[in-house]
Structure 1
Amino acid sequence: MANLGEEKKEELKLYSYWRSSCAHRVRIALNLKGIKYEYIPVNLLKGDHLDPDFKKINPMGFVPALVDGDVVISDSLAILMYLDEKYPEPPLLPRDLHKRALNFQASSIVLSGIQPHQNISVIRFIEEKISSEEKNAWVNNAITKGFAALEQLLASCAGKYATGDEVHLADLFLAPQIHGAINRFQINMEPYPTLAKCYEAYNDLPAFQNAVPEKQPDAPAPAPSLPPSDSVNRKLLSAQ
């Protein structure tokens, strides 16, 4: 029981969208550091991010946004750095100066070289102005160009994870980006063996697996599969 004079610690609030890779990387960090938080869904497809109340939290209308008492942060990298300062274990950045720079460089490739090009708003704009085929080519080019750069950067320094045998900042950016590339955009990972190896290693980590889009409270429920008998009956009916 808390002392009468002791203030109750307010739980962090994370404004998130289940499929946002930016929110995904923050969820991983929160899990890694064992931080409890309240998940507040912001449905980007329905335009929740344009709601005036949400824009008071983030004027840019993006997710994620983190609220920690009176502190409001609405950029994924800024959130990660804030969390790492406030909750330093386990650290998101290595002590080694070179590895630290590699983590920032890999994160930047994802943050500025890949992810903005696959934003919902960008994809919709291209599809409306040009065509669906051009949209697919645009996204594919951005991802494969970025993955080629990441593969070259990390091939000589990767261990079990991106920059060694400990999870660091680069991994928090890589995992959501690779997950989205495979599951949303059907990118073939064969040309990127280092990235593919890291992704396989992430699959063994609960902090990463519990952060995947499909496990979030606002993720759509999977379509129910027909029992074998129903499937057979439906085939028979369609043949009549």
Structure 2
Amino acid sequence: MADIPDGASVAVGGFGLVGIPARLIDSLRTQGASDLTIVSNNLGTDGFGLGLLLEDGRISRSIGSYIGSNKEYARQYLSGELSVEFTPQGTLAERMRAGGAGVPAFYTKAGVGTQLADGGLPVRYNSDGTVAETSKPKETREFNGELFVLEESIRTDYSFVHAAKADRYGNLVFEKTARNFNPDAGMAGKVTIAQVEELVDVIDPDDVHLPGIYVDRIVVVGPQETGIENRTVSK
């Protein structure tokens, strides 16, 4: 984490509390970098994961698709402390994957006919609740009689992912639903850091979920528990 500067952009894998690189997030919190742009489906929950960086005021911009139950995320956005770029979940995943694949942009039907394509979504509010910045219109084009919107790919300075297993070549395997945004986030970063539960010599190529060509640093953290975002119990 030592070389991550203020103002860096970081793609972070996981969905809710599943598959999030919590140890890397804690380490970045200790390291002290601020004014961060975070690309992630959501920003954790209050008091956990990316929610901790949010509480510390270390995130200045979020690119994601889901606020969820994170009250601090909503508060900072509506009070003008945080810039937020919303994008559909599938589009977000493809923007990260495309960034890693060297594809600068792509067309999709998601968002056509809405403010996502037409512009005008609030990106940042003023402290008095008025809108300070809105999203810009995006290019659209017709293919075979249907309209599509152009989405630019995402390439970040760093990526954080959580994997169940890695080998000494950097190949990664993700466990079940922890395979959510982690492969795409891992592709998006110029420098990808993986926290892994287990390190082995070699993973069978047929079992690899993210090739080691995308992975630059590995930290072995041992078994990790997944928290419960919303607990429902009977009366």
Do Structure 1 and Structure 2 share a fold, with TM-score over 0.5?
no
Tell me the TM-score range normalised by the shorter chain: under 0.3
Query: When the two structures are superposed, what TM-score results if normalisation uses the length of structure 2?
Result: 0.26
Radius of gyration: which is bigger? 1
